[in-house]
Structure 1
């Protein structure tokens, strides 16, 4: 016996009322999804009721089908409305849980400062880059060849002694200057070249107000046809003027194995002369060691202690203050 149309209509209306009530009472999105599947899924309650439509007279099927679609639409609308309400409630609960009191004072974190050594390295680099120099670097652990031999140090030179140089068990050493970068760069590049090299150096030195066993050095050198000592002097004068302004400087004759002639440069500081760099024309033997023809090319080189320049710039009386990690000192910069 076929199911009467009125019975299907009653069942569909009852499903709509029960579904809306269940949707209205659900408290979370997971349960809401279960209700959706329970009523509108392929095996849901509405589908089960509609399973009896095949037994209806043909004349009643359109009316019952339209009613079924109305029930589906009504439940779907109720589901979407409840879903939106539950999502809004979750967002509101999250906002309330994460509410910040904007009137509370913030946690203060002191701002870092650039260390005087790093600061002056940056300044010097900017000056020489502006003059067209290329920045290069090299290893701190070096071989005797790059640190001494290629720089024209004789085998019995005092700088090779244990009391001056820190040697490693394998025969390598901690570089005593950044001139090793000069050799490495020239071996890999053809002239002309203008190079600035900076890095940490190591020597067995007695620590006092103006000396340290570990220090930073900057070296600059230029190689081209026709370079003279006048070019070196003019470059140093331009560099000192750019860094300190027009302060008195002097050149004193000196000796370095890798330059000839050589000079040391002093600046007037606190009423006395302070040595800040050594310089000179690159020795022909050094040019030959890297494969340059000294009959064609000449060049100059200069090396300076970063710490001493920082002392002049900031009027620091003792080099050891730069390594003390005393915040009272460092906060001044």
Structure 2
């Protein structure tokens, strides 16, 4: 029994001597005393050398000593884990009384702002917004607008072609054709959107925006 008390005190002393409350070092002591090859495990294995009459009582004493040392270790583990958590929370603590930082928000692009202003103005006059595909067919981009096959606008230096039938639209006029195919007069639409021309210099970009208007009705006169 004296030997068991000394082993308990030895385990406690080893735990108390750990620097900086290291949980890693604490786990090493757990393995040293309670692991498969630990001191208490070895004592339990030595019971095979004790007589059958003494074995139950001796085993109970060893287990009692083991549980006492293990309880001390687990208490320290809980204490140090809580201290580690508190230190982390304190380090990451946010002072809610401090003034907040202003979050800069983005703004609309000037082109978007212009389109919004124009469409708002004409929507108040009864025009609605219609959209169409940016990858357009040769028919809607040229043929339906009476642009002949030999027109310079169809050339590669003016138009981005995918194949002989598909291209990036060079104007939003195709939206007008599609609208007239599906709607009957009166028609009042706006066709805003991106268009593409194979033209790039100081005053041109390959992509820009258009807004076209279509107004179809009977007995209407356009005046300045």
CA distance, structure 2, for counterparts of residue 168 and residue 154 of structure 1: 14
1:21 paired residue among 4, 7, 13: 13
| Superposed CA offset, 1:246-293 (max 9, x none) | xxxx841xxxxxxxxxxxxx7xxxxxx5xxxxxxxxxxxxxxxxxxxx
Q: How many residues align?
A: 201
Residue 138 of structure 1 aligns with which residue?
133
Distance 1:183 1:79, change over 3 A: farther
Residue 78 of structure 1 aligns with which residue?
72
Structure 1 moving runs of 4+ over 6 Å:
169-174, 192-196
Contact 2:43 2:62 in 1 (8 A): no
Deviation at 1:53, TM superposition (A): 1.4
Distance 1:88 1:251, change over 3 A: farther
Q: What is the 5 A alignment of 1:1-333?
A: 9-26=1-18, 27-115=21-109, 117-118=111-112, 120-121=115-116, 124=119, 136-139=131-134, 144-154=138-148, 160=151, 167-168=158-159, 175-181=169-175, 191=182, 198-201=192-195, 214-217=208-211, 229=217, 251-252=221-222
**1:22 is paired with a residue of what secondary structure?**
helix
Contact 1:137 1:181 in 2 (8 A): yes
Runs of 5+ unmatched residues, structure 1: 1-8, 205-212, 222-227, 234-249, 253-265, 267-272, 274-333
CA distance, structure 1, for counterparts of residue 221 and residue 196 of structure 2: 25
Contact 1:179 1:219 in 2 (8 A): no
Runs of 5+ unmatched residues, structure 2: 200-206
Residue 204 of structure 2 aligns with which residue?
none
| Superposed CA offset, 1:106-141 (max 9, x none) | 44333223346435549959x98xx9x89643226x
Distance 1:214 1:53, change over 3 A: closer
Contact 1:201 1:217 in 2 (8 A): no
**1:113 is paired with a residue of what secondary structure?**
coil
RMSD: 4.4
Contact 2:15 2:73 in 1 (8 A): yes
| Superposed CA offset, 1:194-218 (max 9, x none) | 99754123689xxxxxxxx943325
**Structure with higher strand content:** 1
Distance 1:219 1:76, change over 3 A: farther
